[in-house]
Structure 1
Amino acid sequence: MTPSFARPLLALTALAGTLIAPAAHAQSSAVTTEVVAQGLHNPWAVAFIGDNRMLVTERPGRMRVVSANGRVGQPLRNVPEVDAVGQGGLLDLVTDRDFARNRLVHFCYSEPGLGGNSTAMASARLSSDASALEDVRVIFSQKPKVASRLHFGCRIAQDEDGSLFLALGDRFQRMADAQTLDNHNGKVVRVRPDGSAHPGNPFVGRAGALPEIWSLGHRNVQGATLGPDGRLWTIEHGPQGGDELNRTDAGKNYGWPVITYGENYGGGKVGDGITSKEGLEQPLLYWKPSIAPSGMAFVKGGPYGSDWQGNLLVGSLKFRYLVRLVMDGERVVREDKVLPDLAQRVRDVRQGPDGFIYLLTDDRDGQLLRLKPGT
């Protein structure tokens, strides 16, 4: 990220190096916000459990039930120990596709251990009274452990077959690891619900490659979701510029740190300072300067009108608004700034079963917000 507060420019990599015309950066006043709950300590993720209730993670290591009437419950029991340092803590959370039957939740966090910490993913059953986690199982632990406070990644998406994608950061000082297959740094992994590598992963059986790896060459993924096409989409932080949107396919290399549209903090090129190389994927778009994207959701139904259907919503931590990307298949045709006066860091974006969009704001007194259609 960069301290500049200039308007971020969105660049289509199909036209490498060119910028979308300024008219593409319209401001949208189609929605307003209402506060569902507040007093949350650096909330990171929200997931829906029915009966107008949600689970929310707080980065210091707490998980709570939040009701639509604003009631914030006591911390759930049996949450694993987290290493809440720097960017670490209790991070992403999703409910299982079959939650109504099995009450399973999947969550990821910075796990302390010998040599430092790394990102882990656990599954657990929410107790019948929603006061505790039961049968907590760590199903994946990133290798290796690193003495770092940075770049945990930690976004989860569940595939239609029940397997789990987990995006993992490069741990900052280990960025070169993102290009090798003998570690999990700077990777997206896919595991089955029991934690075993999915047999359809692209590097299963390759000598020297960890079988959980789905894709490589990532820096610090901060958003992951399945698109209307059922395939995985991710967003990640660049260094100083070069935040990326990718459709993240099996076995592909997304380039970090060999290629990037960003530069080192304080200036200067990353590596050879190149933006393309044969065999490395180009992002669908990038932002320069960085907006620090976090959280993403495709709009599917809901009360926001036909203009919003199929749009991709992305939060901005740095510029403190919501981004609406108007899509034509895989192509971004327009970027709208939604809630330009929100003035709160947007950490997570989810669409609830009621069709409404919910946002979490990242603050020691964070809020859960609901987007309501404008009049």
Structure 2
Amino acid sequence: MKTVAFAAAVLLAGPACSAQPQADRAMTPDVPPQPASATQPVPANAPLDPAIRNVPAAAGHANRHQSAPPFAIAPIGQFDAPFAMAFLPGGDLLVTEKVGRMKLRTADGSVAEVAGVPAVAAGGQGGLLDVAPAPDFARSHVVYWTFAEAGQGGSALALARGTLTLRQVQCVSAPCPPQAALSQAAVIWRSGSNGPGGQFGASIAFSPDGRFLFLGSGERQRFTPAQDPQQLLGKIVRLTLDGRPAPGNPAEPGQLSDIWSSGHRNPYGLVFAPGGRLWEVEMGPKGGDEINLIEPGRNYGWPIVSNGDNYSGQPIPDHPSRPDLAAPTLWWNPSISPSSMMLYTGAMFPQYRGSLFVGAMSTAGLIRVTLNGAKASPAEFWDFGARIRDVAQAPDGAIWLLEDGARGSNGRLLRLTPKP
């Protein structure tokens, strides 16, 4: 059985090399100073600059009518308010639940809770968030995850890693899940700016060469930190695998050296496409959800400009109003509330190879976007009747979805295959 073979490999593995957690570094990750405004109540609206003349956006509007999904849909599991999933070699799957549980679903369908997950600040949009195996997981067995961490003044986004170990146990009946645990679990990066607010972002991606970790850090519903070069909120950061600022980041004078790009609201998905381009999906305000092509050093405008408006109805200038700020490649208004994004590369759906798939929650469903170099185009929007929290490609090329587990969604795990 695949689970037995993998468990043996993990138990026999010696200390990992480049991705092995380091307790001294992990206990004191570099964080920026706590700004005086961090613990203040979140503001109701983005600051409005009366000097900006609004220029309405037109190019890139991506809303499409929904249609029935062209898939055979099989429910294969259910989780409690899941947030993210990630496949391991051999077909096992890690799933995070916001309350603070990590689950391992083995290739045979059995499910075990992973022990050793540190406490999270669960509530609202916070909790246990993204999860991703290290690029060298087959050798190191290291897993990275993000979570809302309690601290002085409130919660903050944290990035941790640990070594996943499995031990096969004897059961009278099958399937029989192994015992799963994280050892040497340690925080290696913190956003700082502890305080109130949701919108943690928390999405993880690794560079194609496996040397660097990219992390989306949300602005916590506070607006102005996204433009503050001395805060890590509202940014995409580029780190080494041990959580330090990566060499070669486009840091300007007075800017924290972690920062790769700025002016983001709530980055919920990061994906590298062939050729090395980095794509991001971002939840905007009332309207203005975005797909961005991320380039080093660029400022993507939030909260100065957006193709949506404040929830109060107070307008925000559209992106063309400030052409010096990077505009989204695609945007949705009305909102779709994007939750996740993956690039399809499998063989089961050859017609979709090279497409981005985006989970949506307010206009619930699954969106397909085609890529052509630096150009993205909307293709389909399928109605699944439930909020889609995460989307992933299985080793066999099937598409797996996680329902959100709230507002009528049941937290189900769905497997999509071609219709007979």
Give TM-score, length-normalised by structure 1: 0.88
After the TM superposition, which residues 214-225 of structure 1 pair with which residues of structure 2 at under 5 Å, given as runs? 214-225=260-271
2:328 pairs with one of 271, 280, 283: 283
The structure where strand makes up a greater share of residues is 1
1:208 CA displacement: 2.4
Q: Distance in 2 between matches of 1:19 and 1:278?
A: 15
Contact 2:346 2:393 in 1 (8 A): no
Question: 2:312 corresponds to which residue?
Answer: 266
Question: 2:58 corresponds to which residue?
Answer: 17
Question: Which SS does the other structure have where 2:224 is aligned?
Answer: helix
Question: 2:75 corresponds to which residue?
Answer: 35
Q: Distance in 2 between matches of 1:333 and 1:320?
A: 19
1:276 CA displacement: 3.2
Question: 1:154 corresponds to which residue?
Answer: 202
Contact 2:204 2:214 in 1 (8 A): yes
Q: Distance in 1 between matches of 2:77 and 2:385?
A: 17
Question: Which SS does the other structure have where 1:235 is aligned?
Answer: strand
Contact 1:139 1:193 in 2 (8 A): no
Question: Aligned pair 1:371/2:409, yes or no?
Answer: no
Q: Distance in 2 between matches of 1:102 and 1:37?
A: 28
Q: Distance in 2 between matches of 1:299 and 1:276?
A: 34
Question: Aligned pair 1:47/2:68, yes or no?
Answer: no
Q: Distance in 2 between matches of 1:218 and 1:64?
A: 30
Q: Distance in 1 between matches of 2:133 and 2:109?
A: 20
Question: 1:348 corresponds to which residue?
Answer: 390
What is the total number of aligned residue pairs between the two structures?
A: 350
2:154 pairs with one of 96, 110, 116: 116
1:355 CA displacement: 1.5
Question: 2:223 corresponds to which residue?
Answer: 175
Question: 1:132 corresponds to which residue?
Answer: 181
Unaligned stretches of 5+ residues in structure 1: 1-14
48-57 vs 81-90, which deviates more? 48-57
Q: Distance in 2 between matches of 1:251 and 1:21?
A: 26
Q: Distance in 1 between matches of 2:362 and 2:344?
A: 23
Q: Distance in 1 between matches of 2:331 and 2:203?
A: 19
Computing the radius of gyration over CA atoms, which structure comes out larger, 1 or 2?
2
1:251 CA displacement: 0.6
Task: List per-residue Cα deviations over 1:127-149 (Å, max 9, x = no partner).
Answer: 1325110111211000211122x
1:18 CA displacement: 4.8
The code of the aligned residue for 1:330 comes to A
2:375 pairs with one of 309, 324, 331: 331
Task: List per-residue Cα deviations over 1:297-329 (Å, max 9, x = no partner).
Answer: 111122113x21111100111122111112322
Question: Aligned pair 1:316/2:399, yes or no?
Answer: no
1:163 CA displacement: 1.2
Give TM-score, length-normalised by structure 2: 0.79
Task: List per-residue Cα deviations over 1:142-199 (Å, max 9, x = no partner).
Answer: 0211122x11110000112321111011110x21111121000100111111111101
Question: Aligned pair 1:297/2:346, yes or no?
Answer: no
Question: Which SS does the other structure have where 1:132 is aligned?
Answer: strand
Q: Distance in 2 between matches of 1:18 and 1:207?
A: 34
After the TM superposition, which residues 186-225 of structure 1 pair with which residues of structure 2 at under 5 Å, given as runs? 186-203=234-251, 206-225=252-271
Q: Distance in 1 between matches of 2:125 and 2:85?
A: 18
Computed over aligned residues only, the root mean square deviation of the Cα atoms, in angstroms, reads 2.0
Contact 2:62 2:330 in 1 (8 A): no
Distance 1:170 1:153, change over 3 A: same
Task: List per-residue Cα deviations over 1:318-367 (Å, max 9, x = no partner).
Answer: 122111112322323342122x1x21111111112222211111106411
Unaligned stretches of 5+ residues in structure 2: 1-55, 168-178
2:96 pairs with one of 57, 62, 77: 57
Task: List per-residue Cα deviations over 1:279-303 (Å, max 9, x = no partner).
Answer: 2001001000010011111111221
Distance 1:82 1:65, change over 3 A: same
Distance 1:308 1:76, change over 3 A: same
The code of the aligned residue for 2:124 comes to G
Question: 1:103 corresponds to which residue?
Answer: 141
Question: Which SS does the other structure have where 2:315 is aligned?
Answer: coil
Contact 2:62 2:378 in 1 (8 A): no
Contact 1:36 1:68 in 2 (8 A): no
Contact 1:228 1:298 in 2 (8 A): no
1:274 CA displacement: 5.8
The code of the aligned residue for 1:161 comes to G
Question: Which SS does the other structure have where 1:156 is aligned?
Answer: strand
Q: Distance in 1 between matches of 2:181 and 2:378?
A: 43
2:106 pairs with one of 62, 67, 75: 67
273-282 vs 342-351, which deviates more? 273-282
Q: Distance in 1 between matches of 2:354 and 2:326?
A: 24
Question: 1:7 corresponds to which residue?
Answer: none
**Among the aligned pairs, what percent are the same residue?**
39
Distance 1:18 1:68, change over 3 A: same
Distance 1:19 1:166, change over 3 A: closer
